Amino acid sequence: MENPPLVSIITVNYNQSVVTSQLLETLTKISYPNYEVIVVDNASPTDNPDWLKEKFPNITLIKTEANLGFAGGNNRGIRESGGKYLLFINNDTEVPEDFLEPLVEFLESNDKAGMVSPKIKFHWDSTLIQYAGFTKMNPYTIRNSSIGYHRTDSHEFDIVSVTESVHGAAMMVPRRVIEKIGLMPEVYFLYYEEHDWAEMAKKAGFKVYYNPKSFILHKESVSTGKDSPFKTYYLNRGRLIYTRRNNRGLKLIVSLIFQIFVSLPKNTLLLLLKRDFSNLAAYWRAYMWNLLNWRGVMNNPKL
């Protein structure tokens, strides 16, 4: 590629400097010649990330004064970046040396592409798919499915295609798209913000793509834990925010009825039977947050 455009690679660190360093180590070996790496430390309380700058002097290390969440941390990175394209990548990932070129080449040749994610495979077993695109978000349950999840990688998943949403673990977005639609919606703090951002891009006339010519390996839920109350709270809080921001009229009413009168009692009963009171409390707090914060969820930060 002649005159390759600058790519800003942005990753957010929270109390996981060792994990982040493993990602940075793989980024030092990539073949793409024109990129910058921005690490946003989200006010890690017990982990000083300064040694990352010492070990990887070419990175830009930003230390926030408070935990800004996934969206807020990435938005801080966007404001410090200079790339034509921005790659948002989880710190608990590792990359092959040639993963950037297919994404850049695709966006360079496709003006309608607003966002693109690579194929994502599990780090613990690189023969298994985590993400090969997303199904459409169900407007009532506010759930979607990752195509190919836990299936063996095969030629079936090697087709570049329009998909419903990007994956937050790895997504590339042209700066011109961000300038048009705005930054990631920070009301979420964690979970669902990438799906909402993808909807914002689609409403602005762009398409969202899955590009399997590139792939990454994902360790998954290193920072949050797989079944932690922290994850339970923000996942369910985000689900309700998403329906409030993206559904209207009858769809919104039916969705809220489903969440309140089906999901809430069902999951309450299941957690009670498991005697999982920590996750039960987190689940109810997610609903109470939405009840107490009925205004302001439509706000979107600008670049």
Which pTM was predicted? 0.93
Residues 68-77, mean pLDDT to the nearest whole number? 96
Q: In this model, does residue 18 exceed pLDDT 70?
A: yes
Quickly state the pLDDT bin for 298 (edges 50, 70, 90). Answer: confident
Residues 45-53, mean pLDDT to the nearest whole number? 94
pLDDT value for 220: 73
Residues 164 and 263 in one domain: no
Q: In this model, does residue 271 exceed pLDDT 60?
A: yes
The mean of the pLDDT values for the chain is 95
- pLDDT tens, residue by residue, 165-185: 999 999 999 999 999 999 999
Is residue 241 a contact partner of residue 164, using CB atoms and an 8 Å limit?
A: no
Q: In this model, does residue 196 exceed pLDDT 70?
A: yes
Q: Determine, yes or no, domain membership for 163.
A: yes
Residues 36 and 170 in one domain: yes
Last residue of a domain, one of 174, 199, 218: 218
pLDDT value for 2: 79
Residues 214 and 233 in one domain: no
The first and second tokens of residue 263, run together, are 């999901």
Amino acid at 198: A
Of the two residues 2 and 245, the one the predictor is more confident about is 245
Q: In this model, does residue 226 exceed pLDDT 70?
A: no
Structural domains in the chain (count): 2
Residues 38 and 172 in one domain: yes
Q: Determine, yes or no, domain membership for 25.
A: yes
DSSP letters of the chain? --SPPPEEEEEEESS-HHHHHHHHHHHTT---SSEEEEEEE---SS--THHHHHHSTTSEEEE-SS--HHHHHHHHHHHT---SEEEEE-TTEE--TTSHHHHHHHHHT-TTEEEEEEEEEESS-TTBEEES-BPPPPTTT----BTTTTPBP-GGG---EE-S--BTTEEEEEHHHHHHH-S--TTSSSSSHHHHHHHHHHHTT-EEEEEEEEEEEE--STTT-SS-HHHHHHHHHHHHHHHHHH--HHHHHHHHHHIIIIIHHHHHHHHHHHT-HHHHHHHHHHHHHHHH--SSTT-----
Looking at the chain, the whole-number percentage of residues with pLDDT higher than 70 is 98
Scanning the structure block, which residue is given the tokens 């570049």? Answer: 160
Residues 127 and 234 in one domain: no
- pLDDT tens, residue by residue, 118-153: 999 999 999 999 999 999 999 999 999 999 999 999
Residue 17: CB partners within 8 Å, gap ≥ 6? 44, 47, 48, 49, 51, 52
Last residue of a domain, one of 179, 199, 218: 218
Quickly state the pLDDT bin for 221 (edges 50, 70, 90). Answer: low
Residues 146 and 263 in one domain: no
The bridge status of strand 93-94 relative to strand 207-218 is antiparallel
Sign of CA dihedral 164, 82, 78, 95: positive
pLDDT value for 303: 77
Poorest-confidence range of 25-34, 74-83, 222-231?
222-231
Domain interval for residue 258: 229-292
Q: In this model, does residue 223 exceed pLDDT 90?
A: no
Quickly state the pLDDT bin for 224 (edges 50, 70, 90). Answer: low
Residues 211 and 250 in one domain: no
Residues 121 and 256 in one domain: no
pLDDT value for 294: 85
Q: Determine, yes or no, domain membership for 172.
A: yes
Residues 205 and 153 in one domain: yes
- pLDDT tens, residue by residue, 145-172: 999 999 999 999 999 999 999 999 999 9
Nearest-10 Cα torsion for 79, 81, 82, 85: -100
Is residue 36 a contact partner of residue 147, using CB atoms and an 8 Å limit?
A: no
CATH code where residue 46 lies: 3.90.550.60
- pLDDT tens, residue by residue, 227-241: 789 999 999 999 999
The first and second tokens of residue 298, run together, are 């439509």
Scanning the structure block, which residue is given the tokens 């996934």? Answer: 70
Residues 73 and 171 in one domain: yes
Distance between CA atoms of residues 20 and 22, nearest Å:
5
